[in-house]
Chain A
Amino acid sequence: MSVLLQVRKTAQPAPATVSEPRRRPSRRAILLLSAAAIWILGFLVLNGTATLALPASELTDLHRSLNQFNAWVAANRADNPLFLYVFTPLRSAVDAVASLFTTTFAATATGLRLPEIGWLGTVGLLTWIALAVGNVRVALLTAAVFVFFGIQGLFVEATYTFALVLTAVLLTLLVGIPLGILAGIYGRVARVITPVLDFMQTLPTFVYLAPLALVFLIGPASAVIATVIYAAPPVIRLTAHGIRRIPDNTREASDSLGTTGLQRLLTLQLPMARRTIVMGINQGTMAALSMVTIAALIAAPGLGQTVVRALQSLDVGTAVNAGLSIVLLAIVLDRVTTAASRRAEPGSARRRRLSRRTRTVLLGISFAVVLVMVQLSRTVLWAAAFPADLNLGPQIVQAVNSASHWLQSNLSLFTVSLREGVTGAVLNPFQSLLTDTPFYVLVTVIAIVAYALGGWKLATLATACLGVIIYLGLWSDSMVTLAGTLVATAVVMVLGIVFGVAMGRSSRVDQFLRPLLDAGQTMPSFVYLVPFLGLFGATRFTAIVAGIIYAAPVAIKITADGISGISPTVVESAVASGSTPWQVITKVQLPMARQSLALAANQGLIYVLAMVVVGALVGAGGLGYDVVAGFVQSSIFGKGLAAGLAIVFLGIMMDRMTQAAAAAPARRIPSKSTT
């Protein structure tokens, strides 16, 4: 999703239009006010009618027919040509690749279940690869982190996860780079592929786990396929972007030398797009890690399984321990691929201290050492399985557990009253404002708002999305999800403004916060559930808090960039004319960063929405619950599928509306800021 952001950011702030002469309250304000009035009136007068509520146990005919998919797959698995010649061979092929890597790094199916390369060899080999594609610093980081996995007692789980990520990333590149090249060269391909990618990125991960598991059966193969689907969009997008970004005159210069299409691709376009492509690999890897952990639900081995089991038994210690491993793995993957992209930067060779020859020699020597380590790890037990004496996992788990018990017993008064207070005072009233208002009133209200933001086209789109949701039979659940998402996004925006302004105004705060935010963004969504489950128990509130924490970093960063992007002259002239800092913020900086704020709201919404589904694992209701329940109960499989689609349409609607708000020309500068 952060790719979406990067691509969008390039199309960013159009300079504020020249201030117009004073005018009546804008048409937009009138429209928005009247929409609010209709909503409140509709809620008060028609409360509880036409709410389209569907009890959780009930299905619509559409859901029942989607359920048939389940039976159809079961009936056709053995003899349908689609299965015989496409799905089953695909599954076996992916399975073969996955088991190649898992047996190499994690565990074999025979004997002592030791991997082909024991822990010492794995650490050596991976460190060497980090050195070869990156630099000494990331190599040391890799070695330290993989040894730490052993100390945590999670070496096998971590290498399982790593092996699956590796498989998924390789397959993603195999699919993604050619598609990206095509989309970069041919505009027509890009136009066809972009909406598909949009759709894939809004689709919550849970939704395609269920049908994929049905078709490809559970196990590492379907986990890898699901991961490829999730990780491919950023790779495709960035590859295409890198190729399209090459200046026309460079291309023309090469054309005038008479290069053919293939020559141009190999000698000009790919080398010049290399850095962007490697950035795509970075994004794809992070996405893959986040999906591989969630794929634990369909029997993907690794750290995800440990987290799932811990969430189910409320074992905060184990969950934190495994969560920490995931975070560390994320950091290693991120740093190594980032270092590789730096290395891929044109001209980086000149800045290096070592000559190419020395480097090659050094790499050669260290590789010989690695070979010895690999051989050792295959023949000596202490180098094959991580020594049990060094396993501090149980101690870590116990320490975290006692800390969490202490927190729970000492903070429970605070956390429970906070949870009950927020749920009772904000969440429930707002949710009933959405669920108890007749659907036609809300559709009208949303259409008016969409019209005010983006004209007829957007109004039509919003109405169509809501129409689909009604057709899917999940209006009421969608409104529950919408309520949670909007509440969380509002908090995200408050955090975004507070911290974003602080960062935008002071480079010291920025330097302190930015690495924290970067780290926050690389973490898989799953991990966020763990600490809040311990503090707040399984409720909607917990899911919302997790969503806020998940979405806040991106909103803060965009806001900070918006604030620091304002011309210093403007700020200085405001200070010179005697404005207090508060006045500078509210009258100058925030209004001028309005488009960044809207963009932050856009990204915040999408992130929160993605989290709301995962949050269903800890008690978020609405569509997320339908998706999760459909995944685990075959009788409501169809409803879960429908709920997944409903989330996509809800997401598309909110995305387009906030994008329109971001793109709309700013009003006169001195007027009050809007969010």
Chain B
Amino acid sequence: MMKAERLIKRTLPAMAGAAAAALLLAGCGGASVNQTAAAAGATGTPCGTVNVAMNAWVGYTADAAVYSYVAKNKLGCSIVQKDLNEQVSWQGLASGEVDLIIENWGHADLTKQYITDQKVAVDAGPTGNEGHIGWYVPPWMAEKYPDITDGQNLNKYASLFTTSESGGKGQVLDGDPAFVTNDEALVKNLNLDYKVVFAGSEAALIQSFRTAQQNKTPLLGYFYEPQWFLSEVPLKKVNLPAWTEGCDANPEKVACDYPTYKLNKIISKKLDDSGSPAAKLAKGFTWTNEDQNSVATDIQGGMTPEAAAKKWVDAHQSVVDKWLS
């Protein structure tokens, strides 16, 4: 009994403390510095909070940075950026964790699931960027082996691309497993003597291509544009059998190149219905591949995304005004 009593005696002050703190919170709810400052900050139509999914490539970061900068500074929105993988972000549209995916690459299956069937998300129109995915080699290889850019000849050069990770076959270097990719299926269905190895991220992919060009070492890898890196090292695309409508319908049987993606924005139904100016901005947001590359290059060069966004917005005031009107 003594021990139990002592236990109570010791935990009691802790409990009382927590309770007192809670009471204190409830009591002073109105006077918080948080709320007063907020009231002063908001002007015009209330915007509220926008949750922006952040997918892991610099081009996406550029789009999101500019959107966030404009929403924050011109509309007074609170922006919450969440680092999420592409497909996980879509799940967030359903759960309310995500309001905006600013650069979506295709995903017909998810579009059907979340926009058509569950009706939790809305297509907010194209970003104006055109996306290409494909297999690329560093420029020195395209010079030395001119016929390498024809996918038919890949098996001839497979031995060049072997590494300790590829098990005696040629290596196709992919990025993040979360990126849109058919490469495993392509290797199999085109009977290529290659193995897909994942670098793990866009950054690792870029570093590999940069070293390959510098040291003139062979490398075949997954890459895409718009991409700021292509202006530093103009990678050469390898042509696989051309894309035709429906050739990539079954992910296990794909034997054709990637389509051209009209990149678009997805917003949650919740944000769309709220009538917030943030939804209007999301729908209005369009720019060109050059615009995205210039912001991405600045971010890559060490600027914070916010500073890079500010620089672009200051230089393109008229474009931004068009989004907002």
By a beta-carbon cutoff of 8 Å, the part of chain A in contact with chain B is: 55-59, 74, 77, 104, 108-118, 125, 128-129, 132-133, 213-214, 217-219, 266-267, 270-271, 274, 296-299, 301, 305, 308-309, 311-315, 343, 346, 349, 356, 360, 363-364, 367, 370-371, 374-375, 378-381, 384, 419-420, 423-424, 428, 432, 537-540, 617-619, 625, 628-629, 631-635
Contacts and interface: CB of A to CB of B under 8 A. Distances in A.
A665 to B, nearest CB: 42
B298 interface: no
A629 B118 CA distance: 24
Contacts of A380: 33
Contacts of A112: 33-34, 37-38, 41
B31 A346 contact: no
Q: Is the interface of A mostly helix, strand, loop or mixed?
A: helix
Nearest to A343: B10
Given A55-B188, A424-B164, A271 B7 contact: yes
B201 A313 contact: yes
A314 B9 CA distance: 51
A74 B95 contact: no
Contact of B4 (A56, A214, A267): A267
Contacts of A619: 165, 197-200
Nearest to B165: A539
| Interface size classification for chain B | 35 or more
B88 A266 contact: no
A66 to B, nearest CB: 15
B233 interface: no
B17 A628 contact: no
Interface string B57-87: 0100000000000000000001000111111
A349 B84 CA distance: 49
B144 to A, nearest CB: 24
Contacts of A371: 20-21, 24
Nearest to B12: A360
B203 interface: yes
Contact of B204 (A129, A381, A538, A625): A538
B118 A218 contact: no
B84 A314 contact: no
Contact of B92 (A57, A299, A378): A299
Contact of B83 (A117, A305, A419): A305
A539 to B, nearest CB: 6
13 contacts: A57-B185, A58-B188, A213-B91, A218-B92, A297-B88, A299-B98, A301-B82, A367-B20, A378-B28, A378-B31, A540-B165, A618-B200, A632-B86
Interface stretch (B125-133, B176-184, B273-281): B176-184
Most buried by B among A58, A218, A298, A540: A218
B291 interface: no
Contacts of A218: 84, 88, 91-92, 95, 97
B32 interface: yes
B95 A217 contact: yes
Contacts of A315: 203
Given A110-B34, A314-B204, A213 B56 contact: no
B82 A312 contact: no
A57 B24 contact: no
Contacts of A629: 177
Given A299-B82, A632-B86, A74 B118 contact: yes
A214 B56 CA distance: 21
Given A57-B252, A375-B28, A537-B207, 5 more contacts: A56-B196, A129-B17, A213-B88, A619-B200, A634-B109
B83 A104 contact: no
Contact of B198 (A301, A343, A381, A625): A625
B285 to A, nearest CB: 23
Contacts of B188: 55, 57-58
B21 A305 contact: no
B59 to A, nearest CB: 13
A314 B201 contact: yes
Contact of A367 (B4, B17, B35): B17
B97 A271 contact: no
B303 interface: no
B1 interface: yes
Most buried by B among A112, A132, A375: A112
A309 B38 CA distance: 29
A589 to B, nearest CB: 38
Interface string B159-191: 000001101000000001110001011011000
Contacts of B58: 313
Interface string B85-114: 111100110111110000000000110010
B319 interface: no
Interface string B40-52: 0100000001000
B3 interface: yes
A412 to B, nearest CB: 10
B117 interface: yes
Nearest to A368: B20
Nearest to A371: B24
A299 B37 CA distance: 28
Given A218-B95, A423-B164, A538 B33 contact: no
A363 B13 contact: yes
Nearest to A431: B167
B32 A379 contact: yes
Contacts of A296: 83
B21 A125 contact: yes
B251 A538 contact: no
B309 to A, nearest CB: 17
B80 to A, nearest CB: 8
Nearest to B49: A109
B321 to A, nearest CB: 27
A384 B92 CA distance: 30
Contacts of B56: 309, 312-313
B230 interface: no
Contacts of B113: 74
Contacts of B197: 619
A378 B21 CA distance: 12
Contact of A632 (B7, B20, B177, B207): B177
Nearest to A59: B252
Contacts of B110: 634
A356 B31 CA distance: 37
B31 to A, nearest CB: 6
Contacts of B91: 213-214, 217-218
B46 to A, nearest CB: 10
7 nearest A-B pairs in the assembled complex, by CB-CB distance: A111-B38, A217-B95, A57-B184, A632-B178, A538-B200, A57-B185, A114-B34
B109 A633 contact: no
Contacts of A57: 182, 184-185, 187-188, 251-252
A74 B119 CA distance: 12
Given A110-B34, A314-B207, A58 B252 contact: yes
A311 B202 CA distance: 10
Nearest to B42: A111
A587 B295 CA distance: 67
Contacts of A363: 13
A110 B28 contact: no
Nearest to A616: B177
A339 to B, nearest CB: 13
B35 to A, nearest CB: 5
A311 to B, nearest CB: 7
A371 B25 CA distance: 10
A463 to B, nearest CB: 28
Most buried by A among B113, B165, B176: B165
B204 A537 contact: yes
A74 B117 contact: yes
Nearest to B82: A299
A78 to B, nearest CB: 8
B81 to A, nearest CB: 9
B201 A538 contact: yes
Interface string B245-270: 00000011000000000000000000
Nearest to B181: A633
A532 to B, nearest CB: 12
